[in-house]
Structure 1
Amino acid sequence: MKHGLSGLSLAIALSLLVTGCVTERTYTGTDIPVSERKLDKVAAARERMQLGLTYLNRGNSEQAKYNLDKAIEYAPELEDVHVAMAYYYQTVGDLVRTEQAYQDAINTKDASGDSMNNFGVFLCQQKQYDKAEKMFLAAIEMPKYTRTASSYENLGICSRDAGQTEKARQYFQMALKYDPRRSVSLLELAELGLDKGDYVDAQNQLARYHQVAAQTPESLTLGIKIEQALNDDAAMKRFGILLLAKFPASPQAKQYRVNLHQ
């Protein structure tokens, strides 16, 4: 089975509340301060970004683009506005401009590992596997980046999609070193173990998976396959019973019933 890549939500601005910046100035001849509103370009850019993404989520791409353009005009060095523009272009299906917007984001002076990770997700989805790998690794190298396990897991998924199973296995193992509870990495390693013929390791990885994640039709079916490969009929039957009891309407359960009567 294939698992999805992990990126931050690109509708990042929807939760931001921004206002203009108020400054005080004292005029000659009086000590009374007079408040006046001064345009805070970064705050204005975030406000435009929020508005643009709101319009995009409502399906109004014209107003979305107008406000996102304004956001970039106000603060061209703000990373988030370029990420938001990448989200806009990806939503409307302009993949060339999506890539350019991500490039603009990671070229800002305060570029973060999160943008690099999201760019890597996009590149992997476009089957640009080498570029994606470089971008995920660049994210991991950022000093204040906290989502290292997520990026290693993305590297594993991307390597698997590229047909590089051994590299995928190594990256999934790295993800688990940073976060032993990453269920996707555990399930992927169980699948890779089964495919490689390392059935005991596959069994161990699946057991670890079931310690941190709920049973699913996919995981129980994988258990059936692993125990079948190990010639353990009793264990295979236990997984089958669980599959039929918990997920009777699932395609996996229906196929299991067919297999029982063959």
Structure 2
Amino acid sequence: MSIKRIAAGLVSVMLLVSGIGCTTSTTTTTRSLTMVNSEAEKKNNRAQALNNYVQLGIGYLTKGERSKARFNFRKALEIDERSAPAHSGLALLYQFEKENELAEQHFRKALQYDPEHTMGRNNFAVFLYRLERYEEAHALFTEVVADVNYPRRARAYVSLGLAAERLGRIEEAKQAWDKAITLDSRMTKAHIELAEVYFREGDLPRAKRHLDQHRRLTGPTARALWLAIRVERGFGNKDGEASKALALEELFPYSQEYLEYKEWLQQI
């Protein structure tokens, strides 16, 4: 056999071996990519399922179907026991059921697992406020409003103001309500609270301005009409006082405000 034929044979063998190596390498890479893609798909599916269970739970909770809400929140925690939204949802469920200890446990777990879960922090603050734990609620509301990306920040400022007022921090409360209106001028709760504060302080023009804005946004309410009666009395506007009193009597004859108005009449 000539040297040329031997060389040609060696080259053929080398190419064959090289080709086998390339095929094996390509097959291995393809399998690796398939496995990676499969794992990524599983992870995405789990995340989607988790989110779906949480959203279903919230939906059922909103409709008052607590058993179905509980089932979905539990299913979410089976997927991820550290899910802050799922713990927050369960906390709300227990809050509605007056299971305050369980509610607090799940609120705290939600914040432990996700310190940036602002909605859960706000819900926890509301929970504490309703339990008259105003100092703790105030601290949490302060953290909530610090999140400039929180979509309900204006409402959180209203809540912060209420907590501050309960703690006797009136100036802070006024600043919080002003901020709420700056963020969303339709914050009717902020307007009526400011109207009350300014009336107590004797600042009738500001009280009336916020009352008028409140009326434009919501229409008449028993609280606003009762306050408006006293504001009009302060201005000496007898016609305005009479019209507000008539509206209170006709629209809200069984309200606590109407009872207070009748008692007030007997004292003046």
Instruction: Tell me the TM-score normalised to structure 2 length.
Output: 0.71
**Which entry has the higher C-alpha Rg, 1 or 2?**
2
Which runs of at least 4 in structure 1 moved beyond 4 Å after TM superposition?
Answer: 50-53, 63-67, 252-262
State how 1:101-120 maps to structure 2 within 5 Å.
Answer: 101-109=106-114, 111-120=116-125
Shift of 1:259: 6.8
The letter of the residue matching 1:193 is Y
- Structure with greater contact order relative to length (CA < 8 Å, sep ≥ 6): 1
Alpha carbons of 1:92 and 1:235: their partners in 2 closer, same or farther (altered >3 Å)?
closer
The more displaced of 119-128 and 138-147 is 138-147
| 8 A Cα contact 1:78 1:108, kept in partner | yes
- 3-state secondary structure, aligned to 1:57: coil
1:155-179: CA deviation from partner (whole Å, max 9, x where unpaired) = 1122233343332222111111111
The equivalent residue for 2:86 is 81
| 8 A Cα contact 2:157 2:180, kept in partner | yes
- Which of 53, 58, 61 lines up with 2:65 in the alignment? 58
Alpha carbons of 1:144 and 1:70: their partners in 2 closer, same or farther (altered >3 Å)?
same
1:13-48: CA deviation from partner (whole Å, max 9, x where unpaired) = xxxxxxxxxxxxxx98xxxxxx9x957322333444
Shift of 1:152: 0.5
- Which of 163, 171, 175 lines up with 1:158 in the alignment? 163
The equivalent residue for 1:168 is 173
Shift of 1:81: 0.6
| 8 A Cα contact 1:113 1:140, kept in partner | no
The letter of the residue matching 1:88 is L
1:63-100: CA deviation from partner (whole Å, max 9, x where unpaired) = 75555333223123432111111112212322122122
The equivalent residue for 1:100 is 105
The equivalent residue for 1:238 is 243
Separation (CA, whole Å) in 2 of partners of 1:45 and 1:148: 26
The letter of the residue matching 1:152 is Y
- 3-state secondary structure, aligned to 1:133: helix
Separation (CA, whole Å) in 2 of partners of 1:253 and 1:134: 36
Shift of 1:148: 1.7
The letter of the residue matching 2:119 is D
Structure 1 or 2: more helix by fraction: 2
The equivalent residue for 2:96 is 91
| 8 A Cα contact 2:56 2:69, kept in partner | yes
- 3-state secondary structure, aligned to 2:113: coil
| 8 A Cα contact 2:135 2:167, kept in partner | no
**Aligned residue pair count:** 229
Shift of 1:189: 0.8
Structure 1: unaligned runs, 5 residues or longer? 1-26, 29-34
- Which of 188, 194, 198 lines up with 2:203 in the alignment? 198
Instruction: Tell me the TM-score normalised to structure 1 length.
Output: 0.72
The letter of the residue matching 2:203 is D
Structure 1 or 2: more strand by fraction: 1
Alpha carbons of 1:57 and 1:204: their partners in 2 closer, same or farther (altered >3 Å)?
closer
Q: Does 1:213 align with 2:218?
A: yes
Alpha carbons of 1:248 and 1:91: their partners in 2 closer, same or farther (altered >3 Å)?
closer
- 3-state secondary structure, aligned to 1:176: helix
The more displaced of 183-192 and 211-220 is 211-220
- Which of 111, 127, 139 lines up with 2:144 in the alignment? 139
Separation (CA, whole Å) in 2 of partners of 1:67 and 1:172: 37
Shift of 1:260: 6.7
Separation (CA, whole Å) in 2 of partners of 1:83 and 1:188: 29
Q: CA RMSD in A?
A: 3.4
Shift of 1:181: 2.1
